[in-house]
Amino acid sequence: MPKRKTYAVVLSTLLVGIVLGLILASNFELPKPGLAESHAPVKLSRETSPPENLPETSDLMATSKAYVQVAKMIMPTVVGVTSESVVRVRNPLDFFTGDWWHGNPRGRRRGEGEYRQEGLGSGVIITPDGYIVTNNHVIREAEKIAVFVDRKKYTAKVIGSDSETDLAVIKIDEKNLPIAKFGNSDELEVGELVLAVGNPFFLQLAHSVTAGIVSGKGRTSVGVGDINYEDFIQTDAAINPGNSGGALVNLKGELVGINTAIVSNGWGGGNVGIGFAIPINLAQQIVEQLIATGKVVRGWMGVSIGSAEQETVEELNLPSLDGALVERVTSDSPAEKAGLKKGDFIVELNGIHIRDHNQLMNQVAAYAPGTNVTIKFFRGGDEKVARVKLGERPENLALAEEEEPEKAESNFFLGMMLEDLTDDLRQEYDITASSGVVVAGVESGSQASKEGIRPGDVIREVNRKSVASVAALRRQLEQSKPGDLVLLRISRQSGNFFVALKVEKY
């Protein structure tokens, strides 16, 4: 009996422990339903109240809606453009195997093969009857051009192209097409929101829309092909290969630029946040001429121009860096007939302030040949005005502006051969001067030789004005007449000294 009691006590204790454990594990609640039990249906609703600090009509939502509306406006006007060209190359194995096994099909040279190369770009419809603007590089040398409008394929023909702005106009046979509304790119401001639309990489990505801001205006010398007339809009809206020729629009849905190029990183050529578009105001001038005549005719003054540096401003007593410096005047050109000379500094054209030489070149080119324009410029510190009747820009501009041999510029002045100061010359002559023009040679029997000037001397000033280059020294000398004396301050290791030379010719 004692053993039975012991067993009963142990069993009772175990049962009590199990019950207590279950109660503790369930936090003193009754067991919950298992998976086999059904749940009450849950209804999800979109009718949620916005937080008090974010009303339904917030600026953020308004901006989002604006993007949507602009995209709906512009997407139907942006098309895909594909091109096909034939590239002929020699088989690299010909060097080892000869080309006897190729035969000679179609009269080609032995060992030469034909390959079809396809390109992809974008375009923007600008007239209801099928005129489309795109980039010249998209359709250049193409044998076949196709345009895709809302997944329908059309054969396109080239109306005209202009390599100097990288613009082209093509046309398809269709009516009642949607068209892009032109804006005013001059009114664009840095920081303004813009959208870019095109076909990046593949036609399957047609009508891709990206957003960004205007990062800069009037961009030049950005290394985009052989374009001469540069005035790019810079944007960080994502532009990728295939976007070329596509639309850049403002938040009014107006076309403000034609996407043209990107700064890429690596093999993929993808976007890194720096893209360039041709301003629509420039594009419109080109497109209208291409549609009317198939070519572009530009105004021409006949000057080679550059932008000024701070040293030039000080030497010529100019009001600011803004303007274009005349570096050369072509013989018998409109500029020469109007009295313009090398060293003149042009600051206005028909009342338009000139920022730099690129702007002046673009402004002149925008006028038709035969147009009379008013030029405001500085010469010798004095403000002057000239009237120039523009000519037609020659097709071979380099040949037209080529100087006659006897007028070719030289670095030989007043019996001295002069060179810009370089590290090599500094080391060769042990020069300590920080700036100036180096005398590299002296003509025997010349004034310079008689005055004791010798190779390695550095000309620091001409007539009390600093000179830092041969070009700057030339400009100073050109203000003197034959027979005048020019005062040179010369630096030599032993110190500085002055020499006066009579101007005979330069």
Q: Phi first, then psi: what are they for 140, rounded to 5°?
A: -60, 130
**Pairwise CA distance, residues 333 & 341, whole Å:** 11
| Candidate list 122, 137, 162, 208, residue with the active-site label | 137
| Candidate list 83, 208, 215, 244, residue with the active-site label | 244
Tokens in use for 12? 């009772």
Return the sign of the alpha-carbon dihedral for residues 423, 427, 429, 435: positive
| Candidate list 122, 161, 166, 357, residue with the active-site label | 166
Q: What are the residues whose beta carbons fall under 8 Å from the beta carbon of 266, sequence distance 6 or more?
A: none
Report the candidate in 496, 351, 488 with the shortest Cα–Cα distance to residue 413: 488
**Residues paired with residue 147 on neighbouring β-strands, in sequence order:** 81, 154
Q: CB–CB of 325/305 below 8 Å?
A: yes
**Pairwise CA distance, residues 361 & 41, whole Å:** 74
Give the position of tokens 């895709």: 148
**Pairwise CA distance, residues 278 & 182, whole Å:** 13
39 is annotated as an active-site residue: no
Give the position of tokens 């039975």: 4
* Amino acid residing at 53: N
* Amino acid residing at 500: A
**Pairwise CA distance, residues 168 & 245, whole Å:** 9
**Pairwise CA distance, residues 252 & 260, whole Å:** 21
- CA–chain centroid gap for 35, Å, is 66
DSSP 38: P
137 is annotated as an active-site residue: yes
Report the candidate in 177, 72, 196 with the shortest Cα–Cα distance to residue 132: 177
**Pairwise CA distance, residues 151 & 4, whole Å:** 93
Report the candidate in 241, 144, 237 with the shortest Cα–Cα distance to residue 199: 241
Length of the chain: 506
- CA–chain centroid gap for 173, Å, is 33
CA distances from 456 to 105, 112, 164, 417 (A): 66, 58, 44, 11
* Amino acid residing at 264: S
E strand or H helix at 443, and its extent? none
Q: Would you please indicate which residues are annotated as catalytic (active-site) residues?
A: 137, 166, 244
